[in-house]
Amino acid sequence: MKKTIAFLCIVLIVFCASCGKKEVRGTTADESILSTENYDVDSYDIGEGKIVDNCYNEDGNLEKTITRDENGNVESFEIYEFNEYGKVQTVTYYNGDRTVSYYSEMKYDRSGNQIECETFYADGTLKAFVKNEYDDNSNCVKTENYDSERQLVGYETYEYSKNNKQTKVMSYGSDSKLISCFEYSYNENSLLTKMIRYDSDMKPVESYAYEYNDKGNRIKESHFDGGNNLIEYTLTKYDDKGNVVSTETFDS
| Neighbour tally for 93: CB within 10 Å | 16
Contacting residues for 195 by C-beta, under 8 A, at least 6 apart: 182, 183, 184, 185, 207, 208
Q: Is the model's pLDDT at 5 over the cut of 90?
A: no
How high is the mean pLDDT of the chain? 91
Please give the Cα distance from 81 to 87 (Å, whole number): 8
194, 210 contact by CB (below 8 A): yes
Task: Tell me the pLDDT band of 251, cut-offs 50, 70 and 90.
Answer: very high
pLDDT in tens, 152-199: 999 999 999 999 999 999 999 999 999 999 999 999 999 999 999 999
Please give the Cα distance from 183 to 28 (Å, whole number): 44
Task: Tell me the pLDDT band of 23, cut-offs 50, 70 and 90.
Answer: low
Q: Is the model's pLDDT at 7 over the cut of 70?
A: no
Secondary structure of the chain: what % helix, strand, coil (to 5)?
A: 10, 55, 35
pLDDT value, residue 17: 42
Q: Is the model's pLDDT at 14 over the cut of 90?
A: no
Q: Is the model's pLDDT at 15 over the cut of 70?
A: no
Phi, psi of 13 (to 5 degrees): -65, -45
Task: Tell me the pLDDT band of 21, cut-offs 50, 70 and 90.
Answer: low
How does 13-42 read in b/e, with b if 16+ C-beta sit within 10 Å?
eeeeeeeeeeeebeeebeeeebeeeebeee
pLDDT in tens, 28-76: 889 999 999 999 999 999 999 999 999 999 999 999 999 999 999 999 9
Q: pTM for this one?
A: 0.81
97, 74 contact by CB (below 8 A): no
Cα 109 to Cα 22, 131, 132, 134, distances in angstroms: 22, 12, 10, 10
pLDDT value, residue 22: 66
Closest CA to 118 of 131, 104, 108: 104
pLDDT in tens, 96-136: 999 999 999 999 999 999 999 999 999 999 999 999 999 99
pLDDT value, residue 163: 92
* 12-26, 173-187, 198-212: range with lowest mean pLDDT: 12-26
pLDDT value, residue 25: 64
86, 71 contact by CB (below 8 A): no
DSSP 104-171: EEEEE-TTS-EEEEEEEETTS-EEEEEEEEE-TTS-EEEEEEE-TT--EEEEEEEEE-TT--EEEEEE
Of 22 and 201, the one with more pLDDT: 201
pLDDT value, residue 27: 72
29, 40 contact by CB (below 8 A): no
DSSP state for residue 99 in the 8-state scheme: B
User: Is residue 53 helix, strand or coil?
Assistant: strand
Q: Which CATH class is domain 22-124?
A: mainly beta
Return the domain boundaries, the chain.
22-124
| Neighbour tally for 137: CB within 10 Å | 10
